[in-house]
């Protein structure tokens, strides 16, 4: 609970109080069917003794479900005696988007992961970003934002660390990735200020995110691996103890670098996307990536799109219907001039 007058939202969960609390952040929503109503954004705080503050969010994009399951399971299972420090859990962070099963909010079209630091007098999505940055993030030691590919993309199970032009972030990222144990860790030097992880970094946290499958569905083996990985990471950070902490991380991560110029492939024409490689394939610069087919134009030959660089296919577009400018694939590489040796 904040008495800061600049905070437009209220919550029945007091983040300063000890013990386990579950409740809602109230998103004011005055509409025809409910003049004085609010929308309920679920939140839980489990606080006990002294230790790090760890914040885990999911549903930053509403159609990414593995993280929403992991966070809601933690809310059900973690009790205060298992905690040293504080665990703050938000399973549907852009609540209107998550309720609707959409990437962006049906209320204001807002993409929460582009809206930080938000505004205290902004649109619904800006109000949520402002609340998370100004009420939830202060005092946070570690922030985990659980993403997946959503309806339009499918990813290999990966942990992501931004700001890795800074060698200290790479060092810390390798430590966290080994504890999380997803098969891939993707470093980049992205520092886009509208992203949630950068909001947490502004408040002094070390922040990571994930890509856990996607396709608007839940992939059971990726869900199981990530669920185990999150609990192993919480044990490693010292905030979670007891039998929810697995003995070992699920996997030894492969450390890779994502280059925004060499690794992304976009549709150059609208049409039907015919992939020529699969997730997990190793590809070379100049190799054929996809054909765009023009079924509506009899006799028109498909256009072939090639990879601008070499690497591993870590992300692939799902729907065949494609417009010019849609991302079809992205790659990650084992070597890059900014990637430090292990």
User: In the complex, which residues of this chain contact Zn ion (CB under 5 A)?
Assistant: 61, 64, 147
252 Cβ neighbours under 8 A, 6+ residues apart:
178, 181
Q: At what angle do helices 167-180 and 220-237 cross, to 10 degrees?
A: 120
Q: Measured from the CB of residue 145, what is the shortest distance to Zn ion in angstroms?
A: 8
The alpha carbon of residue 312 and the mean position of all alpha carbons in its chain are separated, in whole angstroms, by 20
Nearest to Zn ion of 147, 231 (CB atom): 147
Q: Where are the alpha helices (DSSP H) in 181-255?
A: 196-202, 220-237
Q: Measured from the CB of residue 148, what is the shortest distance to Zn ion in angstroms?
A: 7
The alpha carbon of residue 170 and the mean position of all alpha carbons in its chain are separated, in whole angstroms, by 18
d(CA 84, CA 242): 11
Q: Measured from the CB of residue 127, what is the shortest distance to Zn ion in angstroms?
A: 20
Q: Measured from the CB of residue 229, what is the shortest distance to Zn ion in angstroms?
A: 17
Nearest to Zn ion of 48, 210 (CB atom): 210
d(CA 219, CA 36): 39
Nearest to Zn ion of 20, 61 (CB atom): 61
Q: Which of 15, 4, 41 is nearest to 26 (CA)?
A: 41
Q: Measured from the CB of residue 94, what is the shortest distance to Zn ion in angstroms?
A: 10
Nearest to Zn ion of 61, 330 (CB atom): 61
Nearest to Zn ion of 89, 305 (CB atom): 89
Other residues' Cβ atoms within 10 Å of the Cβ of residue 72: 17
């Amino acid at each position: 609970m904040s008495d800061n007058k600049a905070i437009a939202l209220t919550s029945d969960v007091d983040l300063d109080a000890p013990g386990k609390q579950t409740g809602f952040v109230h998103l004011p929503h005055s509409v025809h069917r409910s003049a004085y109503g609010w929308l309920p954004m679920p939140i839980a705080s489990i606080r006990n003794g002294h230790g790090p503050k760890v914040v885990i969010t999911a549903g930053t994009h509403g159609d990414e479900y593995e993280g929403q399951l992991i966070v809601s399971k933690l809310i059900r299972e973690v009790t205060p005696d298992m905690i040293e420090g504080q665990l703050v859990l938000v399973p549907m962070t852009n609540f209107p988007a998550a309720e609707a099963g959409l990437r962006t909010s049906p209320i204001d079209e807002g993409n929460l992961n582009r809206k930080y630091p938000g505004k205290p007098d902004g649109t619904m999505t800006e109000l949520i970003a402002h609340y998370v940055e100004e009420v939830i993030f202060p005092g946070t030691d570690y922030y985990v934002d659980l993403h997946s590919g959503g309806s339009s993309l499918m990813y290999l199970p990966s942990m992501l660390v931004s700001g890795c032009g800074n060698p200290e972030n790479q060092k810390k990222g390798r430590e966290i990735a080994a504890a999380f144990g997803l098969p891939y860790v993707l470093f980049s030097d992205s520092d886009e200020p509208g992203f949630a992880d950068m909001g947490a970094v502004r408040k002094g946290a070390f922040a990571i995110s994930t890509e856990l499958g996607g396709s608007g569905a839940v992939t059971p083996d990726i869900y199981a691996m990530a669920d185990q990985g999150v609990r192993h990471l919480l044990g490693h950070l010292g905030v979670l103890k007891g039998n929810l902490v697995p003995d070992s991380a699920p996997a030894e991560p492969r450390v890779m670098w994502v280059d925004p110029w060499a690794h992304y492939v976009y549709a150059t024409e609208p049409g039907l996307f015919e992939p020529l490689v699969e997730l997990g394939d190793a590809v070379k610069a100049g190799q054929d990536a996809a054909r765009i087919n023009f079924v509506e134009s009899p006799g028109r030959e498909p256009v072939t799109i090639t990879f601008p660089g070499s690497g591993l296919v870590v992300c692939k577009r799902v729907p065949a219907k494609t417009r010019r400018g849609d991302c079809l694939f992205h790659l990650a590489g084992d070597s890059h001039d900014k990637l430090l040796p292990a």
